[in-house]
Structure 1
Amino acid sequence: MFFAPALRTGELARQPGVLDFGLERFLNDTYRHLGRAGYELQEDDKSWLLAIDVPGVAKEHLAVHVEGNMVRIETSREASRHFKAAYELPQEIDVDACEAKLENGVLMLRLAKLPQAQGRQVRIS
């Protein structure tokens, strides 16, 4: 239920934004979860596991692009449901060692971490 602040006659003209703010706050709190794609990210020493909810999408209509530390997922125009998302990870991804599987409306991506170069001390002569 929505409750607007009680205003006397003529008071609304002096405070035009009061009702708008209350409605905006109500809608934001109520529908906060809508529009967000459901996903879960887990990490271990060698990779990240990214699970993304994409119900109703066939694997033929999904494309996963990896460049550097960015992962982009989108559906083709023929897909029954359109989805587009991008995720930035803190480390570059080894594209050749990545795996993707779509099962029961969940896209599972195992994104292998690219080994970081180890620093070494240089001897001064």
Structure 2
Amino acid sequence: MFFAPAVRTRATAPAYRSFDRSFERFVNDAFFGNGLGQGFRLEQDDKAWTVTLDVPGIAREDLSIDIEGAVVRIETKAEAKRQYKAAYELPQDIDVDATTAKLENGVLTLVLAKKQPVSNARQIEIK
């Protein structure tokens, strides 16, 4: 069997890249699930996101949760028996003060409060 290399010109490259990304997404979803893994659930309402993760065998003391803007990083400490590391980016910044985390029976539940946008618009007096 003979394989000839495909030559892509600059004009058709964007269309091929789009097809390549679509095909890659299809293969990943078909063979590896939805990309988020089993034991992950995300729910949303007007005020917060609720993230539920299965983390069996991880103690509360070994977990570290860091929030920076819209990114949530969850990882275990180096000396933990079981290692876990994940990062999730949400579409809106998170209000750290109103966020809660609970670990119960190997299930980590994060309630990530949405930061309400603050308007800097000021009304001025016309003289």
Specify the TM-score bucket, using the shorter chain as the normaliser: 0.5 to 0.7
TM-score using structure 2 length: 0.67
Taking only the aligned residue pairs, the percentage that are identical comes to 50
Partner of 1:8: none
Query: How many residue pairs get matched?
Result: 102
Where do 4+ consecutive residues of structure 1 move more than 6 Å?
none
Amino acid at match of 1:39: F
Instruction: Map residues 19-38 of structure 1 onto 2, 5 A cutoff.
Output: 32-33=32-33, 36=37, 38=39
Partner of 1:88: 89
Give the number of the structure whose alpha-carbon radius of gyration is greater. Answer: 1
Which of the two has greater strand per residue? 2
Q: Tell me, which stretches of 5 or more residues in structure 1 are unaligned?
A: 1-13, 17-27
CA 1:72–1:29: 2 relative to 1, 3 Å: closer
How many Å separate the matches in 2 of 1:65 and 1:37? 22
CA 1:15–1:51: 2 relative to 1, 3 Å: farther
Instruction: Map residues 55-94 of structure 1 onto 2, 5 A cutoff.
Output: 55-94=56-95
Q: Tell me, which stretches of 5 or more residues in structure 2 are unaligned?
A: 4-27
How many Å separate the matches in 2 of 1:30 and 1:88? 23
Partner of 1:39: 40
SS at match of 1:98: strand
